[in-house]
Amino acid sequence: MTTPTPNTPQPRDSGNWAQSVDKLKATGIPSSALNLNVDGKHLTGPLKGFGQMWQKTYSVRLSGATVTPAEVIKVWKAEFPNFWPKGNRFYAPLTSIEPGEVAVLNLSVPGGPPVTAISTGIMVIYADDVSFTFMTPEGHPLAGMITFSAHEDEGATVAQVQALIRPNDPMFEMMFRLGVGHKGEDEFWQATLRSLAARFGVSGQPQQRTMLVDPRVQWSEAKNIWHNAAIRTALYMPVAMVKKVFKRGG
Amino acid sequence: MSKSNVSMTVRQLNDKHSCVDIHGEVNAFAENALMDAYAQATSGGAHTIILNFSGLEYMNSSGIGLLITLLIRASRQKHQLRAVGLSEHYRQIFELTRLNEAIGIYSTETEALAL
């Protein structure tokens, strides 16, 4: 939570925000996680990425489910990893999704085998009863914020994922320009929302709105490729395998 | 049903600067009010828009997202955004989200106008 100033009345969102951090540190992560590219990284956000900025909004109506937005978010926070597509892992500290917490992500290639291709992370920057927001670190494919929320709309509860993102470096931007990045991102969150809907007994079909917020690339951020988590994970894997072999033999 | 709980008033400070005074809550429902205020603030030719947050009562992450999209719009139109009236709590949020690296933060309107 942000640091309170003495004798100053605190706004009602003061308990919902994480404290500003310089560098991330993942703690309390299960040993089964491949924990790379998180510790020591700065948060990025959509202003710091390289590529075009997109706002993507995915939503699903939980028609027929008698569940309030707060109930949806409570379950979503508590069971967050369970809704992710197979082959992708979200490792959080045992305290679950609270402002300030840092989670490790092990992501597979969309449409590819369920093995970790990218080890990266996120930080929870905001959480309240009806929403929570992640922000990404250096090296993550996307520089941005992603908000998970639920609201009422014409008699039904709607669950939503809204991302405000830029591909973090030229390599990831190229994947987006070729359509692979967009397809992977869209399929990931649509699948997540279908799983969430099924949790409440609903077979909802997610809707999507995509908006190009900024068509310009930020050439000054091309250097972000130094942190590219896909490259770093790929370079690490052979080393990890060799270590494993020696461990077994020793 | 609209859940907007924000009001914004625009003041023309001089031929180059306008100020948007923000009162209430900046969340997703504040989008129309914010964009309308920006349009009004720039309609007279001002290219530096000061956002006065001294009346801000609440902001969630969607509110930060709105400020980012406003910043992009301003940047594309070669306008500059500056912030005044941020409490320590909201200054920390600007730091957390790195908005402070793109929007200049000043203690007073006079200071924001001086540069």
At B14-69, the pLDDT tens digits run 999 999 999 999 999 999 999 999 999 999 999 999 999 999 999 999 999 999 99
Residues 6+ apart with CB under 8 A from B96: A17, A18, A19, A20, A21, A43, A125, A135
Closest CA to A208 of A57, A53, A61, A55: A57
Which domain covers residue A70, as residue numbers? Answer: 53-214
- The two tokens of residue B4 are 């907007």
- The two tokens of residue B9 are 């008033």
H/E element holding B54?
Answer: strand B48-59
pLDDT at B1 over 50: no
Query: What is the Cα–Cα distance from A180 to A172, expressed in whole angstroms?
Result: 10
**Residue A149 domain flag:** yes
Amino acid at A125: I
Number of domains in chain A: 1
Q: Which stretches does DSSP call E strand in A129-233?
A: 131-135, 142-153, 156-167, 207-214
Query: What is the Cα–Cα distance from A54 to B36, expressed in whole angstroms?
Result: 22
**What ipTM does this complex have?**
0.93
Q: What pLDDT is attached to residue A95?
A: 64
Q: What pLDDT is attached to residue A3?
A: 55
**Residue A5 domain flag:** no
H/E element holding A248?
Answer: helix A229-249
CATH number at residue A196: 3.30.530.20
Query: What is the Cα–Cα distance from A203 to A139, expressed in whole angstroms?
Result: 35
pLDDT at A97 over 60: yes
Mark yes or no for CB contact A5/B60 under 8 Å.
no
**Residue A187 domain flag:** yes
Average pLDDT score over residue span A65-85: 96
Q: pLDDT-based confidence at A8, cuts 50/70/90? A: low
- With tokens 């429902």, the residue in question is B29
- With tokens 């070729």, the residue in question is A178
Residue ranges of domains in chain B, CATH in brackets: 6-114 (3.30.750.24)
Q: Which residues of B touch A45 (CB under 8 A)?
A: 68, 97-99
**Residue A137 domain flag:** yes
Tens digit of pLDDT for each residue in A155-201? 999 999 999 999 999 999 999 999 999 999 999 999 999 999 999 99
C-alpha R_g of chain B: 13
Q: pLDDT-based confidence at A109, cuts 50/70/90? A: confident
**Residue A232 domain flag:** no
**Residue A115 domain flag:** yes
Q: Which is more confident, A1 or A161?
A: A161
Find the chain B residues whose C-beta atoms sit closer than 8 A to any C-beta of A: 56-62, 64-65, 68-69, 71-72, 75-76, 87-90, 92-93, 95-99, 101-102
